[in-house]
A and B are shown apart, each in its own frame.
Chain A
């Protein structure tokens, strides 16, 4: 079988293994783009992995005033979880603690689907009886009195099932500095796809994991095959001159969105080429039996 490569960068003939998830989204607006982003970043903080954080969340896109319901600057954040019930709890806690509290904010439905999750339906109770319901057409809004005026929040938001979590790309290179440059470029390219978030810090994971551990209590542990300091292990998957590996993880509303996001990430990283220290692209999987969705790197070239 001929080796795969892109711009001189070797592409492993492997696949990323991804899982079915449930997703919801909210549009957060504020008087300024700065405060909309602060509210959204706070709300999507500590939301990298659904196992430990309860959900995976991130900013999907920045919205101009023309694109938001109330004509103010905004962002759309997507939240991925196991199921609707879990997402509802996440919405209540995260929007309640991070958006409701943020100066001048308002929060609206970010997904237009038939299945709905409670949003203002629970947050309205903060109003202690002073909250005001306003139904315009089919949409119900809640106006909750707060110390800077009014928190406006839509009654519910959409739930989308059959969305995909766990698309990933591994970037292998000569040195940490060079791989980080490539990973940053890949995150920027991958983020341009609508309906995709990269939930890890700056979109990048440095501690890729494998399933299981020598310690019985741990369900996941370090991905030793890709750790440069573990070269020499029989299972090491690194070349002698590979100095660092960084991973991108993407969750998306559709298979095609995740695939396109991975494609843009791979191309952006490979564009730097071996001359800038980028040697190889790989992907993480669990043998193909755990996740229903497989993204083969050979399809992305």
Chain B
């Protein structure tokens, strides 16, 4: 069986909803049935076959030519792999439970990996706002699994995050981990308002801009958790283990204006 491959024919004339391109939806469909799936976002009735050349027959291994107008890539994924060659748009990997989504380009739309509970998302380039965060009104953001971003991400990363690990090799914008209730965010640098209102959870960075006054220093932190995290990251995303501080980083607990069981660990 060869990977099911979707090659973009031309620039999409409208935003496309690719939430159907997951193994659970494609298994058992013939090539004609797949080509007839509606993926448009307007009344034009665009189908997969209109926009993509389709090849291969293994729905557990999906390859897609990327474009920033492709939304919902890997949304609700429950297994298998989706590899995107290029960029994707909004809601990539949202609410996924298992499997892997890889993006060789950047995530141009917000809400990557929101409400995911398992599996892994790996992005080579940058990602936009609210990576692993919560969509408006949602009680929780990322609730499990692993997100690795090779570049930098926008604001509100890990907003209301509950569980899982978010790793950013580059910079994280402002308000990372706000209202967090669990999970771990590791980045090279954290922006302003990091962890504001967090109840529980861990933010780790080489630097943090303008730490909120409601975070209290608890001294240096050199306990096995950092070694466990470093080893986990090196296994899952080689090269990211170095983001975890090595020698006696400083630990701040907070947000004391909320529950105060969260922490920010800075090199």
Binding site for B on A (CB under 8 A): 29, 69-72, 106, 130, 132-137, 141, 143, 149-150, 152
Q: How far is the CA of A150 from the CA of B165 in the complex (A)?
A: 21
Q: In the complex, how many angstroms separate the beta carbon of B69 from the nearest chain A beta carbon?
A: 34
Q: Give the residue name and chain of the A residue nearest to B229 (CB).
A: A136
Q: In the complex, how many angstroms separate the beta carbon of B185 from the nearest chain A beta carbon?
A: 13
Q: Give the residue name and chain of the A residue nearest to B227 (CB).
A: A70
Q: Give the residue name and chain of the A residue nearest to B146 (CB).
A: A137
- Residue of B164, B182, B228 with most chain A CB atoms under a 10 A cut-off: B228
Q: In the complex, how many angstroms separate the beta carbon of A104 from the nearest chain B beta carbon?
A: 9
Q: In the complex, how many angstroms separate the beta carbon of A223 from the nearest chain B beta carbon?
A: 46
Task: From B146, B184, B225, B232, give the contact of A150 (CB < 8 A).
Answer: B225
Q: How far is the CA of A132 from the CA of B218 in the complex (A)?
A: 15
Whether B225 contacts A143 by the Cβ 8 Å rule is yes
Whether A70 contacts B165 by the Cβ 8 Å rule is no
Q: Give the residue name and chain of the B residue nearest to A143 (CB).
A: B225
Q: How far is the CA of A72 from the CA of B222 in the complex (A)?
A: 12
Q: How far is the CA of A130 from the CA of B232 in the complex (A)?
A: 24
Q: In the complex, how many angstroms separate the beta carbon of A103 from the nearest chain B beta carbon?
A: 13
Q: How far is the CA of A29 from the CA of B223 in the complex (A)?
A: 12
Q: How far is the CA of A149 from the CA of B224 in the complex (A)?
A: 10
On whether A69 and B228 interact (CB within 8 A), knowing A133-B182, A134-B202, the answer reads yes
The A contact surface, by secondary structure, is: strand
Whether B261 contacts A72 by the Cβ 8 Å rule is no
Q: Give the residue name and chain of the B residue nearest to A130 (CB).
A: B261
Q: What are 29 sample pairs from A and B whose C-beta atoms fall under 8 A apart?
A: A29-B224, A69-B227, A69-B231, A70-B224, A70-B227, A70-B228, A70-B231, A71-B227, A72-B224, A72-B227, A106-B224, A132-B200, A132-B261, A133-B182, A134-B225, A134-B228, A135-B144, A135-B163, A135-B164, A136-B165, A136-B184, A137-B236, A141-B225, A143-B223, A149-B223, A150-B223, A152-B224, A152-B225, A152-B228
Whether A136 contacts B228 by the Cβ 8 Å rule is yes
Q: How far is the CA of A152 from the CA of B224 in the complex (A)?
A: 7
Q: In the complex, how many angstroms separate the beta carbon of A27 from the nearest chain B beta carbon?
A: 11
Q: In the complex, how many angstroms separate the beta carbon of B258 from the nearest chain A beta carbon?
A: 15
Q: How far is the CA of A201 from the CA of B90 in the complex (A)?
A: 65
B184 CB contacts on chain A under 8 angstroms? 134, 136
A143 CB contacts on chain B under 8 angstroms? 223, 225
Q: In the complex, how many angstroms separate the beta carbon of A28 from the nearest chain B beta carbon?
A: 12
Q: How far is the CA of A130 from the CA of B146 in the complex (A)?
A: 25
A135 CB contacts on chain B under 8 angstroms? 144, 163-164
Q: In the complex, how many angstroms separate the beta carbon of A288 from the nearest chain B beta carbon?
A: 48
Whether A152 contacts B163 by the Cβ 8 Å rule is no
Q: How far is the CA of A149 from the CA of B164 in the complex (A)?
A: 24
Q: In the complex, how many angstroms separate the beta carbon of B195 from the nearest chain A beta carbon?
A: 15
A69 CB contacts on chain B under 8 angstroms? 224, 227-228, 231
Beta-carbon contacts of B179-193 to A below 8 Å, as 1s and 0s? 000101000000000
Whether B223 contacts A71 by the Cβ 8 Å rule is no
Whether B227 contacts A141 by the Cβ 8 Å rule is no
Q: How far is the CA of A96 from the CA of B144 in the complex (A)?
A: 29
| CB under 8 Å from chain A, chain B span 74-133 | none
Q: In the complex, how many angstroms separate the beta carbon of A26 from the nearest chain B beta carbon?
A: 14
Q: In the complex, how many angstroms separate the beta carbon of B233 from the nearest chain A beta carbon?
A: 9
Q: How far is the CA of A70 from the CA of B244 in the complex (A)?
A: 13
B200 CB contacts on chain A under 8 angstroms? 132
Q: In the complex, how many angstroms separate the beta carbon of B223 from the nearest chain A beta carbon?
A: 4
Q: How far is the CA of A133 from the CA of B261 in the complex (A)?
A: 11
Q: Give the residue name and chain of the B residue nearest to A150 (CB).
A: B223
Q: Give the residue name and chain of the B residue nearest to A133 (CB).
A: B182
B165 CB contacts on chain A under 8 angstroms? 136
| CB under 8 Å from chain A, chain B span 208-247 | 222-225, 227-229, 231-232, 236
A29 CB contacts on chain B under 8 angstroms? 224
Q: How far is the CA of A29 from the CA of B227 in the complex (A)?
A: 12
Q: Give the residue name and chain of the B residue nearest to A71 (CB).
A: B227
Whether B228 contacts A141 by the Cβ 8 Å rule is yes
Q: Give the residue name and chain of the B residue nearest to A106 (CB).
A: B224
Q: In the complex, how many angstroms separate the beta carbon of A242 from the nearest chain B beta carbon?
A: 52
B227 CB contacts on chain A under 8 angstroms? 69-72
| CB under 8 Å from chain A, chain B span 157-213 | 163-165, 182, 184, 200, 202
Lowest 5 A-B CB distances belong to which pairs? Answer: A70-B224, A136-B232, A150-B223, A70-B227, A152-B224
A136 CB contacts on chain B under 8 angstroms? 165, 184, 228-229, 232
Q: Give the residue name and chain of the A residue nearest to B184 (CB).
A: A134
- Residue of B146, B200, B224 with most chain A CB atoms under a 10 A cut-off: B224
Q: How far is the CA of A149 from the CA of B223 in the complex (A)?
A: 7
On whether A152 and B236 interact (CB within 8 A), knowing A69-B228, A70-B228, A71-B231, the answer reads no
A132 CB contacts on chain B under 8 angstroms? 200, 261
Q: How far is the CA of A152 from the CA of B165 in the complex (A)?
A: 18
